[in-house]
Amino acid sequence: MVSKRLNITVEEEIYEEFLKHASKQGIKVSTWIGAQMNQFNDEQQMLEEYRKEKRS
């Protein structure tokens, strides 16, 4: 799988809080962001399919 490097901006307090909790579970920021993006994509795909079915 090819990865794309991205530069993101996050409020420092939010980032520090995330690291505090994520490090306890061994979660990396990039892994978590990737999982959230996958979840968002899945939700959008389901929504598109629902809209197509509703129009039919």
Percent of the chain scoring above 90 in pLDDT: 91
Per-residue pLDDT at 43 exceeds 90: yes
**Domain for residue 37, yes or no?**
yes
Q: What average pLDDT does this structure show over 8-28?
A: 96
Write out the residue range of the structural domain in which residue 39 sits.
Answer: 28-56
**Domain for residue 19, yes or no?**
no
Q: What is the pTM of this model?
A: 0.76
- Number of domains within the chain: 1
**Domain for residue 56, yes or no?**
yes
Tokens coding 4: 């794309």
Please state, in angstroms and as integers, the Cα–Cα distance from residue 13 to each residue in 2, 28, 48, 51, following that order.
31, 17, 35, 38
